[in-house]
Amino acid sequence: MTTTIKHGNLSAEIKHFGAELISLKTNQNREYIWEGNPEFWGKHSPILFPIVGTLKNNSFHYNGIKYHLSRHGFAREMEFKLIDATENSATFSIQSSEKTLKFYPFEFELQIIYTLQDNNLSIEYKVINNEKTAMPFSIGAHPAFALPNQFENYTLVFEKEEPLEYYLLEDDLISNKTKNLNVQNKRIPLTYELFKNDALIFKTLQSNALTILENEKPILKVNFEDFPSLGIWTKMNAPFLCIEPWFGYSDTNENSGNLFEKEGIQILESNKTFHSKFSIEIFN
């Protein structure tokens, strides 16, 4: 089942399974979200919760019990309920259950709110801690943007001039190895060579936005001022690019297995609500 919202020149379609954005297009039928061809990658824009990335040994311990939690968590594999909808907005929700408690022993509600306004789609996350104790979690976005032309025809423009140091992954975990992107005038020409070692992981950035240029013309901008970390990823020869704002990232090999000690983790106090939002701006 899907829900479609519309405003002005834009429409967005969200799949209830995973509350996943599967289409963002103009009235002229220009599609900005990757089609999800499994030959390259069968997702469109999954939601990463209650972890981002991979845990060491895909597990953690809490109160003396070991729990197994797969890469990027389980929200992307759950059926969300549509709890509110207007012509230009839709709110989806999942709650903890007997099933989720086997993997993540915390009572929660996760709401995803999509809103179209002018040439902008905002995606808001609300994490509600229904537990009597503090709750550790990460949350992140994973939107894949369709790049129908030659990959080398695209350029990434960072909001600010800054040194761009990223961390390398080893066996899906964050290593202590880093590299620096060769950036000139805040611009990075896209090549598949950039991603030969998997994603580019930025633990911190000064920039709060990234713009994609197609043949030197801006086509979309991802604004993520609420988010401290970022991943950028594609697969070799795939016609898409993921720009992924995150609260958190994969474990390191030194991780203790205690989620409360995990680097980049968020700690939400009992009966409190966490809010964050990013947006996708379309240039017509």
DSSP 29-53: --B-B----TTT-S-SS-EEBS-SS
Structure confidence at residue 276 (pLDDT)? 97
Does position 138 have pLDDT exceeding 80, yes or no?
A: yes
Place 45 in a pLDDT band, splitting at 50, 70 and 90.
Answer: very high
Structure confidence at residue 258 (pLDDT)? 96
| Burial readout 3-37 (b: 16 or more C-beta within 10 A, e: otherwise) | bebebeebbbbbbbebbbbbbbbeeeeeebbbebe
Structure confidence at residue 216 (pLDDT)? 96
Structure confidence at residue 257 (pLDDT)? 94
Structure confidence at residue 27 (pLDDT)? 92
What is the Cα–Cα distance from 36 to 143, expressed in whole angstroms?
A: 11
What is the Cα–Cα distance from 93 to 3, expressed in whole angstroms?
A: 14
What is the Cα–Cα distance from 64 to 61, expressed in whole angstroms?
A: 6
Place 284 in a pLDDT band, splitting at 50, 70 and 90.
Answer: confident
Peptide bond into 163 cis (omega under 30): no
- Mean pLDDT over each residue of the chain, to the nearest integer: 96
Q: CA 257: distance to chain centroid?
A: 23
Place 214 in a pLDDT band, splitting at 50, 70 and 90.
Answer: very high
What is the Cα–Cα distance from 267 to 36, expressed in whole angstroms?
A: 33
Does position 182 have pLDDT exceeding 90, yes or no?
A: no
Task: Name all domains of the chain by residue range, CATH numbers in brackets.
Answer: 2-282 (2.70.98.10)
Does position 61 have pLDDT exceeding 90, yes or no?
A: yes
Q: Average the pLDDT over 265-271 and give the result.
A: 98
Tokens for 27? 């009235």
Q: Average the pLDDT over 46-69 and give the result.
A: 97
